[in-house]
Each structure stands twice: as structure tokens, then as C-alpha cells.
Structure 1
Amino acid sequence: MGDLNEMYRNGVKWTREAGKRIRDSFQTKLTIHTKSNADDLVTNIDRETEQFFIQHIKASYPTHKIMGEEGFGDKLESLQGFVWIIDPIDGTMNFIHQQRNFAISVALYEDGVGKFGMVYDVVHDELYHAIRGNGAFLNDDPIPELPFVELNKAILGINATWVTDNKRIDSSILAPLVKSVRGTRSYGAATLEFVYVVTGRLDAYISMRLSPWDFAAGAILIEEVGGIVTTLDGNSLNFLGENTILVTNKSLHKTIVEDYVLK
């Protein structure tokens, strides 16, 4: 556990340092590129931040593998050994347009098992972090177990696109669910929506397309407070590809899967 604690402390140190570098960049001009489509954006800061992590990880742990959103890490066919899964800036569109509502996400997995995860809300200086089996924390404060919530009193995190995009899922599944909850919210950064479920700011979060760097840290955090993360139909996540995502407290998971998704 000593080595793991050292890795964890280094992860926290590098994440906070990366956050400071991002905040310091706010007054500089961004270089903005598109990836898969005109709305899929990446900046020079995304790429520089991922390279910052890779340089530190490789210098300290040369045998470890790295999976990063911007493609500077390793080409992975399995999660054998130690694998760092990194999103240097989740919510790049928010970063560009708002300079808020984005986060850094860092997780360490060993042979496919999550060891620790952290999500850093850079602007608000809020670090959500957990070592498996030791509970979850917001900065220095422990995050309590999630309470029971009835569906009609729940706040659901969901992008309106998923309710209307019949290419991904029949709208007859999500539209009734949206009508059944108390309200919906969308923050434009999956990592933040994960930790909002962890802290009870949201009671559930649904996305139809997330990659491992979007959920690797959040999956560790949510389990530390008694929550559940699966695919939308209740299956285990694939950490080497895209997934639908359902994150909830225990009281809502069965209801959403059985009464709405698989009905």
C-alpha cells in the first residue's frame, strides 16, 4: 500500500499543478482545433496538459501505461499492469467559452481494477478524490454515503440531445424518465456530472457515449459512496471503448433500468 499511497500523492500533486497551469493560461490566446466534428474541440492547453502528465508519470513510473484522451499515451489492448487513465480537460467547450465547468480527471487501474481516482474542478479548486476502500473526499472533507431518493424527487443529469437522438436510443425510453423526475440538468462535462452524483447534487446521470477517460475516475468515486455505475441497460463497463452510462445511487438504479430502459 505504501507504493500506492506514493502514486496517489503524486497524482494529487500533478493534478493540482496542472490545474494551476490551466488557470494561468486564461489570459493567453488559445489555439483551437476540431476533432471528430465541428463541435468536438481540442486546444493547445488540452494537449500540453496531457503531455505534462505523461512526462511526470513516465519519469516516475517508466513501466506504467497511460491512456489519454488526446492520444499521446500508449496504444492499449488490455488493462494489464498499472494503467493511468487521464482526461486533461473534460468539458473543453466550456473551457473555451466559459472558463469554468471543466475538470481534470486522473485514475490509476491495476489489472483492470480501479485503485484511485480524482476529478479536479480547476476553477472552483474542488478536488474529488478516493483510494478504493477508503471512502471519497472533497478536498479534505469526507463525502457521506448517498441517501435514499425517490424517482419523483430526483434530479437527473442528462443532455437534451440524448432524449431526441433516435440514432442512439428510442426516445420512448428516455422521454418518460425525464417526465418522471423532479428536474434535469446538463453541465457539459461528464466528469463533473459524475462527482455531482457522488456528492448528491445530482441523483443520477445518463450519457449515451462516453470513453474510459470520461468515467474511469468517477467510477471509483461513486462506488466509494455506495452508488452504482453501469451501462444504461445495467451491464458492466468496457474500459477499452465507448459506453452508454448510468450513474445513480442504489435506490434509483433498479427503477431506471427495469421500469424504463428494459421494460
Structure 2
Amino acid sequence: MDNAVRNEIYEHAKKWVHEAGELIRQKINDPMIIETKAHDKDLVTTVDKETEYFLAENIRKTYPEHLLFSEEGYGDDVTSLDGTVWIVDPIDGTMNFVQQRRNFAISIGIFHQGIGEIGFVYDVMADVLYSAKRGEGAYKNDEKLPMLKSELELGEAVLGFNHKWLCENSVIDEKVVQQLVKRIRGVRAYGSAALKLAYVSEGIVDGYLTMNLAPWDIAGGMILANEVGAVTTNLSGGEVNMLTNDSTLTCHPAIQNEIIQNFLVKGLK
């Protein structure tokens, strides 16, 4: 994707993200229908669906040749990342949206021929937009974020991940995860993968770890974090599958290998 095309798409997407956020803020206190999807903790609301519809309509009207890979039913049947693909989560952190009315985000990652070109994570209620274009760094609103510091010891690191991986589960030995927690400085759980990845890009957490998430949960934030020098792989150190659920480790490169080799590989079931 050449610079002119990338810049045009970026400006359109930025405008739509801000407009979608304003629509959410207008409806934040209205009565809403809350449904469950895969399980009783996997929530979706009318606002999720309306926000995705708003974004889908704008994308299709302006870029009919592009594909939309999204969560709430308005996307295309995407089987590859050929061409230009928008990976969209209209509200990442729906439980936070329902329970707290804050700490949720709109997440968009725009890929061209399999490469992440543009990323957005919009903290709607705080009105903070994290954004990135490939090769141009990451921004928090209009302030460019610094590259990650050159060195980091694992014992100094703060990681973001869900507390459920500390409990018995079918993916990873919880005792290994408990050992990782003892090794690092601290753990933070925010209830939104997109925001955790944005915080990696900001340098306020040193990594984000998930055992199983969909591409739309991580697409935008992964692009942001990679632009400041973070590295992203699955838990075995391979490339993350952006077409289906996968594990993901996005972190400072100085701690990646130690986390994978000393903890994750040993714990995966």
C-alpha cells in the first residue's frame, strides 16, 4: 500500500471512529438489550451491533472493494487477507461497557495483502485515540509515543492478562502461569484486549498475554504496539493467525523469549 492510499484510508477511518464514539456516548445511558453469545460472560448489546453497522456502511460506501472482518454479523466471509481487509471490533470490552460505562474501546486494524497498515484503538469515554500507520510510529491523540526503552528485565515487567488463566483451564497449566506471575513485577487486567495493547504501545504495561482471542480483539492494538518496537507472536513463538482465534503474546522484545521458553511452551496443553 503506497503512502497516499494509506493516508487517505487513515483519515477516513479516523473520522468514522470519532463519529462512532460520539454515537456511543449519546446512547451510553439509554436502556439497552443485552444478549449472550458463546457463553453467559460473552455479552453483546444493541449498541455493539449499531456501531458495527455504522462502520460497515461507511467502509462499504467508500471502499466497496475492501473486505470487512468483524464480530457482530455485518462483515464479509473472509477466508484470506488478500487485498485490503478491515478487522473491526465495535466495542471491545462489552462487559465493561455494560457494567461500568467506561474502559471499553473501538478497535480497527486495516491489513493489506496480509500486512497491518493502520491501527486504531479508541477509548470512547476518555476520548483518547491511539493510532498508527505502518512505519510512522504510534500516537496517543496527536502526541507521538516514544519507542520502548532499550532494555527490560522480566522481573521488572508488568503484564496484562486475564486472571482466568491463573485458574484451572483447558489451554495452559495454571501452575506455570502462577510461576510467571511470581517472576514478574505485576499483572493488570483491564477487561479490554484492545486497551491492553494500547497500553503496551504507551509503555505503561510491558506486555499483553492471551491464550485465545479473535482477530478483531487484537488487530488494531497489535499494529500500535509493533510500531513502538513491541513484538507479537502466538504462545509458541510463531505468527499469529489473523483469520481465526489464536493465542497472542505482544511484549517488549527483551522479555519475549524468556516468557515463551521458560513458561508458555512448558505450560501449553
Assess same fold via TM > 0.5: yes
SS at match of 2:28: helix
Instruction: Give the corresponding residue for 1:235.
Output: 238
Q: Aligned letter for 2:78?
A: L
Instruction: Give the corresponding residue for 1:75.
Output: 77
Aligned partner of 1:30 among 18, 21, 32? 32
Instruction: Give the corresponding residue for 1:18.
Output: 20
Instruction: Give the corresponding residue for 1:125.
Output: 127
Q: CA deviation at 1:232?
A: 1.3
Instruction: Tell me the alpha carbon deviations over residues 17-58 of structure 1, each in whole angstroms, 9 at most, x when there is no partner.
Output: 000000111121111111111111000000000000010011
SS at match of 2:152: coil
Separation in structure 2 between the aligned mates of residue 203 and residue 254 of structure 1, nearest angstrom: 14
Q: State how 1:168-187 maps to structure 2 within 5 Å.
A: 168-187=171-190
SS at match of 1:100: coil
Q: Aligned letter for 1:154?
A: A
Which ranges in structure 1 are unaligned for 5 or more consecutive residues?
Answer: none
Instruction: Give the corresponding residue for 2:44.
Output: 42
Instruction: Tell me the alpha carbon deviations over residues 69-119 of structure 1, each in whole angstroms, 9 at most, x when there is no partner.
Output: 112110111111111110000000000000111000012111111110110
Instruction: Give the corresponding residue for 1:156.
Output: 159
Instruction: Give the corresponding residue for 1:95.
Output: 97
Tell me the TM-score normalized by structure 1: 0.98
SS at match of 1:27: coil
173-182 vs 253-262, which moves further: 253-262
Tell me the TM-score normalized by structure 2: 0.95
Instruction: Give the corresponding residue for 1:244.
Output: 247
9-18 vs 163-172, which moves further: 163-172
Separation in structure 1 between the aligned mates of residue 180 and residue 147 of structure 2, nearest angstrom: 24
4+ residue runs of structure 1 moved beyond 2 angstroms? Answer: none
Aligned partner of 1:191 among 166, 190, 194? 194
Matched pairs, number: 263
Q: CA deviation at 1:164?
A: 1.2
Is 1:6 equivalent to 2:8 in the alignment? yes
187-196 vs 215-224, which moves further: 215-224
Is 1:201 equivalent to 2:204 in the alignment? yes
SS at match of 1:116: strand
Is 1:167 equivalent to 2:162 in the alignment? no
Q: CA deviation at 1:190?
A: 0.3
SS at match of 1:77: coil
Separation in structure 1 between the aligned mates of residue 177 and residue 236 of structure 2, nearest angstrom: 12
Separation in structure 2 between the aligned mates of residue 218 and residue 138 of structure 1, nearest angstrom: 12
Separation in structure 2 between the aligned mates of residue 90 and residue 2 of structure 1, nearest angstrom: 29
- RMSD of the TM alignment (CA)? 1.0
Separation in structure 2 between the aligned mates of residue 186 and residue 51 of structure 1, nearest angstrom: 29
Separation in structure 2 between the aligned mates of residue 244 and residue 203 of structure 1, nearest angstrom: 17
Q: CA deviation at 1:149?
A: 2.0
SS at match of 1:66: strand
Q: CA deviation at 1:172?
A: 2.9
SS at match of 1:259: helix
8 A contact 2:105–2:195 mirrored in 1? yes
Q: CA deviation at 1:233?
A: 1.6
Q: Aligned letter for 2:49?
A: R
Q: CA deviation at 1:254?
A: 1.2
8 A contact 2:235–2:265 mirrored in 1? no
